Amino acid sequence: MVISGRAHWPLYWLLRMSLSETKAETNALTARHFFKRRGLLSEWHPQYEFRPGQLEMAEAVEAALAERRHLIVEAGTGTGKTLAYLVPALLSGKRVVVSTGTKNLQEQLFFKDVPFLQQHMNRPLRVCYMKGRGNYACRQKIYDAEKEPILTGLEEIADYQIIQEWEKETKVGDRAEIKTLPSASTAWGKVDARRELCSGQKCAQFERCFITLMQQKARESDIIIVNHHLFFADLAVKDKEFEGVIPDYQAVIFDEAHEMETVAGEYFGASVSNHQLYDLRRDIAAMARRKNFGTQELDRVMMTLDECTERFFSAFPGQEGRCGVPNRVEFRESREMVYVDLLRVLELTGTHLQLVKGATDEVIPLFRRVEELSQTLKFWMESDDSDFVYWMERRGRGVYLEATPIDVSSLLHEKLFEKVDTVVMTSATLAVSGGFDYLKGRLGVRSPRTLIVPGLFDYPAQTLLYVPRDLPDPRTPAFTEKGSEEVIRLLEYSRGRAFVLFTSYQQMRAFHDRISMKIEFPVLLQGTGPNNALLDEFRRTPHCVLFATASFWQGVDVPGEQLSCVIIDRLPFAVPSDPVVESRVRVIREAGGNPFFDYQVPEAALTLKQGFGRLIRSRSDRGVLALLDNRITRQRYGQIFFDSLPDYGFTMEPGDVARFFDV
C-alpha cells in the first residue's frame, strides 16, 4: 500500500507521520465542514455526492460524543455511515473503540477509509486495529516448530514454510496478510498466538511478540478498530483478576449493532467441549516430550483423561443439533459417576503439572487451562442459576456444553452502558415498525437518542416485493413441491441472477434437489465449498443461482445486474424448540408479556430486513424480492413486517414480476 508516496512502510506508522496541526485548528473542524455541500469531502473525492442523511448522522454522532450520550442510528443502505461515524470519532479528541460485525469490515476501515482521510488531513491519525489472538502468529511457536516434530504431512510442512518466510518480513503478524496460505490450513493452528499455551512476559520473544506490539499500538492510539467477538470477549473479563486486551476508552461505536445481543450472549456465558479436553491432553503430551518431563505415570493419567472424556461426553444424546436440558437434577444424577471421574482426573492432571521439577514457564498455561476447564465443567453441571439456559450441541464428533444468559440486557447495562460515556449503535436494520423499543429492551440501553436515516435509493422504482397469492403454508408438506415450482418460474423471469435463501439446511437441500436439474442456469449450493469461494464464483458466473442459508443473509455485497432477484422461502422466525429461544419465550411469558409479539415477530422482522438488504446496493440496481410465505398478507402480525421494510413496490401477481424483468 502507498500513502503519500511512501511504499512498504507499516501503515500504523505512516498514519503518525503527517504534518502537525495546532490544537485550535483541530477543534475548529466539525462534522459539517466535511459533509456539507461543497465541504471537505467533496473537495477530496471527485465522485463524492452530498447526502443529507450522512450529514445528519455525522452531526448526531458528533453531539453524542461531545455530550456523553448514547445514540442509536438506523442508517439505510447508501447512507455512507462508515465515514459518518469515523470522522466525528477522529475529531472528538477521545479514545474511541469502533467495533465491527466482521473482520472484513475491520480491514476496510483500516486499510481503505482511514488512509483516505489521512491523505487529506494535516494532523496524524493515531489508529490501529486489534483482532483475536488466533489471528496472529506466535514467533516462539514458529521457531520451535523448526526443531520439534509437531507438523504432520507434506501439506502442513509446505504451509509452515510459507508462514516461516512471512514471519521474517511481517510487522504485524496478522494471518490475513498471507494470501497464499489456504483458509483450512492446519499448520496455522500449531503456530498461532492463542492464550492456551502463552507464557506471557516469561516468553523469550515477549518484546517482539505480535500480541505485545498490538497492545502497545492500542495504548498509543485514539481510534481502536476491533470486531464484536473481541470486544465482548474483552468486556467479559475486564473485572476479573487479569485485565482485558483493549485499553481504557471513553466511547464505543458498534457497526452492525443488530448482532450485539447474540455475540454478547456467547461471551457472558460458559462453554466446554470434548475437543477442548482432547486438545489439553495433546498439548500436555507434546510439552512433556519437548521439555523432557514425561513419565510413565503422566502417560497413564493422560490415557485416563482421554477415557473419562470419551465416557462423559458419550453419555449425552447422540442426535445432531442443539437441545436443552429440561430436568437438570435428574440429568446430573444419571451422569454422576462419569462426571465425578472426569473431575478427579482433571484434578490429578493439575497436580502432576504442579509437581514438574523446575516447572517451566510453558507448564503454567497448561495448569491454568486445567483449572478453567474444571471450573466451567462444574458450572455447567452443578449451577442452578436461573438466569442461564443450559444446553448442548452435537456437531459431527464434537459435543459442546453451553450456558447462555437468557437476557443480556442487565449485563450490558451494568458493564457497558453505565461505564462508558458514549455508546453509538448503528446498522441498516435496527428499527421495528419505525421504532427502537425492541432493541432498547433487548440491549438494556436507557433513554438513548435515536435517529432513522432513510436509504439513499428509490425503492418503489428500483424494487418489487412479490408475495405469491396461492402457495400453501410453509409448514405443510405440500409447500416444498409448490414452492419449488414457483422458484423455477421466478428464475425463468430473472434469467437466473438470484439468491434463493432458506431458514434451514433441510429446506435448502429439498428445494435444490427439485430445482437444479430443471433450470438451464448455473447452480451453486452452500456447503459445497467455502462461502467466500462460492460468492466469488457467483459474481464471476453469468446468470448464476445460489442456494444458501443464514450465512448469506447479511454482510454479502453483489452490486449490479449479477444479483437481480432474492427469493426467501418463509418468514424467518427462530426455531421455537431452540433451547435459548425457548427459555427467552418462557421468561417473557412469566413476566406477563406476549413472547410472540414482544420477541419472536420483531426478531424475525429484523432478520427479514437483513435478507432483503442483499439486493439493492447502488442507485442503478433493480430487482425483485420474492417472499414465498403469504402469511405476511394473511396474519395480523404481517403488518409489523411491512412497516419494518423500506417502501418497496408490492404485488401478488406473477405477471407483474414478468413485466418488471421485461419478459
pLDDT digits (tens, 9 = 90+) for 289-298: 877 787 889 8
- Position 453 in a domain: no
- pLDDT tier, 9 (very low <50, low <70, confident <90, very high otherwise): very low
- Position 626 in a domain: yes
Contact criterion met (CB below 8 Å) for 526 and 538 = no
- Beta strand 498-501 with 545-548: parallel, antiparallel or unpaired? parallel
User: 20 pLDDT exceeds 50?
Assistant: no
Of the three residues 341, 371, 405, the one that is the final residue of a domain is 405
Task: Tell whether 516 and 625 lie within a shared domain.
Answer: yes
Q: Give the cell for residue 448.
A: 438513548
- Position 162 in a domain: no
User: 242 pLDDT exceeds 60?
Assistant: no
**What confidence score (pLDDT) does residue 19 get?**
30
Arithmetic mean of pLDDT, 167-188:
87
Q: Indicate the number of domains in the chain.
A: 2
**What confidence score (pLDDT) does residue 155 get?**
85
Q: The domain that contains 378 carries what CATH number?
A: 1.10.275.40
**What confidence score (pLDDT) does residue 359 get?**
61
Task: Tell whether 463 and 558 lie within a shared domain.
Answer: yes
User: 481 pLDDT exceeds 90?
Assistant: yes
Task: Tell whether 607 and 501 lie within a shared domain.
Answer: yes
- Position 350 in a domain: yes
pTM, rounded to two decimals: 0.86
User: 120 pLDDT exceeds 90?
Assistant: no
User: 211 pLDDT exceeds 60?
Assistant: yes
Task: Tell whether 601 and 473 lie within a shared domain.
Answer: yes
| Contact residues for 338 (Cβ-Cβ < 8 A; gap 6+) | 308, 311, 312, 315
Q: Where is mean pLDDT largest: 328-332, 354-358, 409-413?
A: 409-413
Arithmetic mean of pLDDT, 253-267:
94
Task: Tell whether 376 and 497 lie within a shared domain.
Answer: no
User: 17 pLDDT exceeds 70?
Assistant: no
pLDDT digits (tens, 9 = 90+) for 381-410: 999 899 999 999 998 889 999 999 999 999
Arithmetic mean of pLDDT, 593-615:
90
318, exposed or middle or buried, with CB in 10 Å at 0-12, 13-18, 19+? exposed
Task: Tell whether 357 and 473 lie within a shared domain.
Answer: no
Task: Tell whether 526 and 388 lie within a shared domain.
Answer: no
- Position 165 in a domain: no
- Position 372 in a domain: yes
- Position 230 in a domain: no
**What confidence score (pLDDT) does residue 628 get?**
97
- Position 193 in a domain: no
User: 183 pLDDT exceeds 60?
Assistant: yes
Task: Tell whether 465 and 361 lie within a shared domain.
Answer: no
User: 8 pLDDT exceeds 50?
Assistant: no
- pLDDT tier, 26 (very low <50, low <70, confident <90, very high otherwise): very low
DSSP labels for 340-374? HHHHHHHHHHHHHHHTSTT--TTHHHHHHHHHHHH
pLDDT digits (tens, 9 = 90+) for 557-584: 787 899 999 999 999 998 888 999 999 9
Task: Tell whether 466 and 396 lie within a shared domain.
Answer: no
% of residues, the chain, pLDDT over 90: 59
Task: Tell whether 355 and 486 lie within a shared domain.
Answer: no
Of the three residues 405, 432, 450, the one that is the final residue of a domain is 405
Task: Tell whether 463 and 400 lie within a shared domain.
Answer: no
Task: Tell whether 551 and 486 lie within a shared domain.
Answer: yes
pLDDT digits (tens, 9 = 90+) for 349-390: 999 888 887 666 778 889 989 999 999 999 999 998 999 999
Nearest to 164 by CA among 185, 196, 138: 138
Q: The domain that contains 633 carries what CATH number?
A: 3.40.50.300
Top pLDDT among 614 and 4 is at 614
Rg (CA), the chain: 27
**What confidence score (pLDDT) does residue 584 get?**
94
pLDDT digits (tens, 9 = 90+) for 136-149: 999 988 888 887 77
Full domain range(s) for residue 310: 270-405
- pLDDT tier, 501 (very low <50, low <70, confident <90, very high otherwise): very high
In degrees rounded to 5, what are phi and psi of residue 304? -65, -40
